[in-house]
Each structure stands twice: as C-alpha cells, then as structure tokens.
Amino acid sequence: MQPEKEFRRLSMGFNIAIDGPAGAGKSTIARRTAQELSFIYVDTGALYRALAVFLVDEGISPEDTEKVGEAVKSVKVSIAYENGEQQVLVNGKNVTSRLRAEAVGNMASRVSAIPAVRAALLDLQRDLAKAHDVLMDGRDIGTNVLPEAELKIYLTASVETRAERRYKELQEKGEKKDFSAIKEEIEKRDYQDMTRAIAPLKQAEDAVYLDTSHMNIDEVVEAIKKLYRERKEA
C-alpha cells in the first residue's frame, strides 16, 4: 500500500519508527529509548485515543462513520511535554489520564481506519518528524506515516505474553479482569488492526523484526539503541 500522502524529508532529524500489535510494550519501550537517546517521543496511539475520548464523551457510535467524520473536524488534538512526558490535549483540555480506559482503546481501534480520523492526525505527526529527532510508535508508522524513517522496527510478542502483561497492569491498578477475556480482546484487536482496509498493521519490508516475548525492558531498549548506532554510523 502506498503512503496516504507523499512524504519527503525536509530536515536532518533522525526518525525511528516502531510498529507492532497492542500490548507488545511499544509505548514503554519507545518512551524509555527516546529518553536515553534524547529524542522526542510521539505516542501516536495516544493521539488516536484522545480523539476516541472525545467521541465517547459525545456518545458517537464508531459505526456511524459519517458522524465520526463530521465530529473530528471540530476537534483539535495537540501535544505538550511536562517533565519530559507527553501530555495529550483535546480542545485545550488534558485527557492523558483517560487514554488507557478500555472503552477508549476499543473506540480508537474501531475508528482509526476512518480516513477523516487519520487525516486529522497525520499532519501533526509528520510535522513533528520533519523538525526533530523523533521516535514514534503506532500501527503504521513505518509503512504510512514515516515511510522514509531511517530505522524501522516491528516490535511484537506472543498473544499469551501480551495478555499476561495486560493482566498484571490491571492488577497493579486494582482492577480485576478475567485473563481469558483479556486474551480474547487482544486477539480481536489484532484481527481488527491487521485486516482494516486502510493502513493495516503489518511489518514494513525494511523493518527489523523484534520479538520481546522473552526479553525484559532493558534488553529491548539496548537492542534498539544498538540498531540506532549502527544506522547512524552507516
């Protein structure tokens, strides 16, 4: 699939694109790696979730694509940084604390393939990449958003491992959920992301495949930093 719009590098910023399925640890790994490399970290999933917060609050069904398309025209999603952490704002209101809610994640997955939703966020993502050393993670960064990124990584883990990580995360927050239900949700999310008509989740041809099922955070971060140094010196 061709990128949604022609994208040309207009600066000397080094871009790292990390794609992969839900629960693979992309955000945690990307945030830590960006910090250690002094890169700007852009959590694109958080941007889609921010739009989803708005749609959930407005009671708009993801099935009503026309209404969704009209709604996002009136929404301004922006990012700011507080103590080095990305904060996401919707129409000036910080919604960062709501981005991990299950209802928001499900909404984001269902509307992320709608052209109007993607168009609303694409320019913001690319403008950041043009001007800075950026590490960006999502579902189609290397294939569509930043097709010219100097380093592309497909970060994944087994469904079982991802379900275990999500289960522990919820437990730490004091939330109880059946493990089998979490696993089923992840499998459903994978199917939605990989089969959507527009910009489906897939490994870019020139991406490095990195399975983190049996790796800890430190090991994954070091692996990415090594790849960065190799590309930088090439």
pLDDT value at 40 more than 80 = yes
**CA distances in angstroms from 105 to 51, 172, 177, 222, listed in the order given:** 11, 19, 16, 29
Q: According to the model, what pLDDT value does residue 7 have?
A: 40
Domain count, the chain: 2
Contact 220, 210 (CB under 8 A): yes
- The pLDDT, as a whole number, for residue 217 is 94
Give the pLDDT score at 118: 87
For position 64, what pLDDT does the model report?
A: 95
Say yes or no: 72 and 155 in one domain: no
In this predicted structure, the answer to whether residue 138 has a pLDDT above a threshold of 70 is: yes
Indicate the residue among 131, 147, 166 that finishes a domain: 131
Q: Is residue 8 part of a domain?
A: no
Q: What is the rounded average pLDDT of the residues 31-44?
A: 90
With a pLDDT cut of 70, the percent of the chain lying above it is 94
pLDDT at res. 6: 41
Element holding 211 (H helix, E strand): strand 208-211
Compare 40 and 222 and report the one with higher pLDDT: 222
Q: Which residues contact 138 (CB under 8 A, 6 or more apart)?
A: 18, 19, 26, 44, 45, 145
Q: Is the pLDDT of residue 3 over 70?
A: no
Supply the pLDDT for residue 159.
97
- Average pLDDT value over all residues in the chain: 89
Q: 234 with 195, same domain? A: yes
Looking at the structure, do residues 231 and 151 belong to the same domain, yes or no?
yes
Domain range for 180 is: 14-39+133-234
Instruction: Establish if 108 belongs to a structural domain.
Output: yes
pLDDT of residue 74: 87
**Percentage with pLDDT > 90 across the chain:** 62
Asked if residue 137 and residue 79 are part of one domain, the reply reads no
Per-residue pLDDT at 108: 93
Instruction: Indicate if the pLDDT at residue 11 is higher than 50.
Output: no
The answer to whether residue 9 scores a pLDDT higher than 70 is: no
pLDDT value for 197: 82
Classify each residue of 61-75 as buried b or exposed e, where b means 16 or more C-beta atoms within 10 Å of its C-beta: ebeebeebbebbeeb
Q: Give every CB contact of residue 162 below 8 A, 6+ residues apart in sequence.
A: 21, 22, 23, 24, 186
Task: Please tell me the predicted confidence (pLDDT) of residue 130.
Answer: 86
- Do residues 85 and 179 share a domain? no
Q: Which of 231, 190, 214, 165 is nearest to 19 (CA)?
A: 190
pTM reported for the whole predicted model: 0.75
Of the three residues 131, 160, 188, the one that is the final residue of a domain is: 131
- The pLDDT of residue 97 is 94
In this prediction, residue 12 has a pLDDT band, given cuts at 50, 70 and 90, of low
Check whether 164 has a pLDDT greater than 70. Answer: yes
Q: Which of 98, 131, 164 is the last residue of a domain?
A: 131
**pLDDT higher than 80, residue 187:** yes
Is residue 6, in this structure, part of any structural domain at all?
no
Does residue 174 share a domain with residue 87? no
Residues 60 and 99 occupy one common structural domain: yes
